[in-house]
């Protein structure tokens, strides 16, 4: 069943691309790409800030409840923060690549 849905989706994609190319000139596609890249970069930064803030708050709360596990909690919090920061950096780089694809827009 899933292969059937995937096959049908693959046939619809070129039709949608052709329809979009006829309805919108290249300049508008670039403008929408720039808008999407800016919104994507902003959401990535906001999401990373919220995620790291929640990790920090939970780590401090956990260390206050169990001071003997403070080292382990701090190490785990730093690793998770680094992973979240890596995902946010990837999203910002992806948004930059989208913006660089349409330099004249």
Give the pLDDT confidence of 36-49 residue by residue, as tens digits: 888 989 999 999 99
Topology given in CATH for the domain delimited by 26-101: F1FO ATP Synthase (1.20.20)
pTM score of the predicted model: 0.66
Give the pLDDT confidence of 45-99 residue by residue, as tens digits: 999 999 999 999 999 999 999 999 999 999 999 999 999 999 999 998 988 888 8
What CA–CA distance (Å, rounded) separates 8 from 5?
5
| In the chain, where the domains are located | 26-101
> Does 25 score more than 70 pLDDT?
no
What CA–CA distance (Å, rounded) separates 3 from 11?
13
Burial 28-59 (b: 16+ CB within 10 A, else e): eebeebbeebeebbeebeeebeebbeebeeeb
């Amino acid at each position: 069943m899933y292969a059937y849905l995937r096959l049908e989706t693959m046939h619809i994609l070129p039709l949608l691309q052709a329809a979009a190319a006829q309805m919108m000139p290249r300049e508008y596609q670039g403008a929408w790409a720039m808008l999407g890249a800016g919104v994507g970069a902003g959401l990535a930064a906001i999401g990373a800030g919220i995620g790291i803030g929640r990790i920090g708050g939970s780590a401090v709360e956990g260390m206050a409840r169990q001071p003997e596990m403070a080292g382990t909690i701090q190490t785990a919090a730093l690793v998770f923060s680094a992973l979240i920061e890596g995902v946010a950096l990837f999203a910002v780089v992806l948004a930059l690549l989208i913006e660089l694809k349409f330099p004249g827009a």
